[in-house]
């Protein structure tokens, strides 16, 4: 099985498809000839055998004001898929989980390795923080660590639960920090709870509608590369509801901690 060290993706951003750095990386993971979809403002290079895609964004939008939206369709369907790639720079890297697309003819997704520069994981501050005790009482990322749930606070300003214990009138004390393993190896069994227990409270989270999956996003994740240097990337994870999008009901955030991922995206943290 192919393994990808996520820290090695960070130097690839903002380079064009022909960059020797990108080509060298693709060779290291045995990526074959990609399927290419081209639009005026973006371009996708997809490698189905390893469930891996590169998303390039146009840096200069090389179309005139007289061009209509139909232009994108014409370019996409054109047999000539070799425009000057100097306009397209790598903006995001997508990896798809095979388990979330069982009917598609895909190869095996790679394992993704996140190595961390330290094993301490701070928890976000809370309005109810008691400076004397060093504890806060509002539910946060620790909910998923201790109670196997993801809270929905910072999605709509509310939380999916106000408790940590079975007694609804009590609230457990939550320490300001916790520990995490030195690395996270992401495979097809990795769940939302695994991500939050290693990465902490997401910067953004949302979705869960009939058309949008639950997503968790961290805008700056510090990773340790093989040279011992610390780099930063952005990470977005979409979770796969095993019941299907048409069966969603109730408080899905109470269940999402046990859902495996369906899409793992890495983007430039300094964009």
pLDDT score, position 178: 85
pTM for this model (two decimals): 0.73
Kindly list the distances between the CA atom of residue 41 and the CA atoms of 16, 17, 34, 88, 177, in Å, as whole numbers in the listed order: 14, 15, 19, 8, 42
pLDDT > 70? residue 150: no
Whether 119 has a pLDDT exceeding 50, the answer reads yes
5-14 pLDDT per residue, tens: 999 999 999 9
Q: Report the Cα 50 to chain-centroid distance in Å.
A: 17
pLDDT in tens, 85-116: 448 999 999 999 865 555 555 678 899 999 99
Phi and psi of 232, rounded to 5°? -125, 135
Task: Give pLDDT, residue 34.
Answer: 94
Average pLDDT, the chain: 75
CA 119 – CA 39 distance, rounded (Å): 42
> What 3 state SS string does the chain have?
CCEEEHHHHHHHCCCCCCCHHHHHHHHHCCCCCCEEEECCCEEEEEEHHHCEEEEEEECCCCCCCCCCCHHHHHHHHCCCCCCCHHHEEEEEEEEECHHHCCCCCCCCCCEEEEECCCCEEECCCCCCCECCCCEECCCCCHHHHHHCCCCCCCCCCCCCCCCCCCCCCCCCCEECEEECCCEEEECCCCEHHHHHHHHCCCCEEECCCCCCCCEEEEEEEEEECCCCCEEEEEEEEEECCCCCHHHCCCCHHHCHHHCEEEEEEEEECCC
In this predicted structure, the answer to whether residue 79 has a pLDDT above a threshold of 50 is: no
Q: Does residue 29 carry a pLDDT above 50? A: yes
The arithmetic mean of pLDDT across residues 19-32, rounded, is: 94
The predicted structure's pLDDT at residue 212:
80
Overall average pLDDT of the 1-20 stretch: 94
pLDDT tens-digit readout, 215-253: 999 999 999 999 999 999 999 999 988 876 545 555 777
- Angle among Cα 75, 80, 83 to the nearest 5 degrees reads 75
Inter-residue contact 2 to 29 (CB < 8 Å):
yes
Kindly tell me if the per-residue pLDDT of 184 is higher than 60.
Answer: yes
Nearest in space to 262 (alpha carbons), one of 239, 246, 244: 239
Q: What is the pLDDT of residue 71?
A: 31
Dist CA 22 CA 11 (whole Å): 9
Gyration radius of the chain's alpha carbons:
21
* Mean pLDDT to the nearest integer, 11-37: 95
pLDDT tens digits, residue range 47-77? 998 999 999 999 754 433 333 333 333 334 3
Q: Which of 194, 138, 198, 132 is nearest to 164 (CA)?
A: 138
């Amino acid at each position: 099985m192919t393994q990808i060290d996520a820290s090695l993706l960070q130097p690839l951003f903002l380079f064009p498809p022909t960059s020797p750095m990108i080509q060298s990386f693709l060779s290291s993971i045995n990526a074959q000839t990609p399927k290419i979809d081209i639009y005026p403002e973006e371009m996708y290079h997809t490698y189905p055998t390893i469930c891996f895609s590169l998303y390039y964004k146009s840096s200069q939008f090389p179309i005139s004001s007289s061009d209509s939206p139909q232009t994108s369709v014409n370019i996409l369907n054109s047999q000539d898929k070799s425009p000057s790639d100097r306009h397209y720079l790598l903006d995001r890297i997508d990896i798809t989980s095979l388990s979330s697309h069982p009917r598609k003819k895909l190869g095996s997704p790679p394992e993704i390795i996140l190595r961390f520069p330290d094993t301490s994981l701070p928890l976000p501050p809370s309005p109810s923080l008691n400076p004397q005790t060093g504890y806060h009482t509002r539910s946060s990322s620790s909910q998923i660590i201790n109670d196997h749930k993801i809270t929905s606070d910072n999605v709509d300003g509310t939380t999916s639960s106000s408790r940590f214990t079975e007694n609804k009138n009590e609230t457990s004390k939550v320490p300001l920090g916790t520990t995490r393993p030195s690395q996270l190896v992401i495979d097809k069994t990795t769940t939302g709870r695994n991500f939050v227990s290693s990465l902490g409270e997401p910067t953004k989270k949302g979705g869960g509608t009939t058309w949008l999956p639950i997503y968790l996003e961290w805008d700056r994740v510090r990773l340790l590369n093989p040279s011992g240097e610390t780099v930063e990337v952005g990470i977005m994870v979409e979770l796969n509801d095993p019941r299907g999008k048409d069966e969603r009901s109730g408080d899905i955030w109470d269940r999402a901690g046990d859902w495996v991922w369906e899409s793992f995206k890495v983007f430039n943290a300094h964009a």
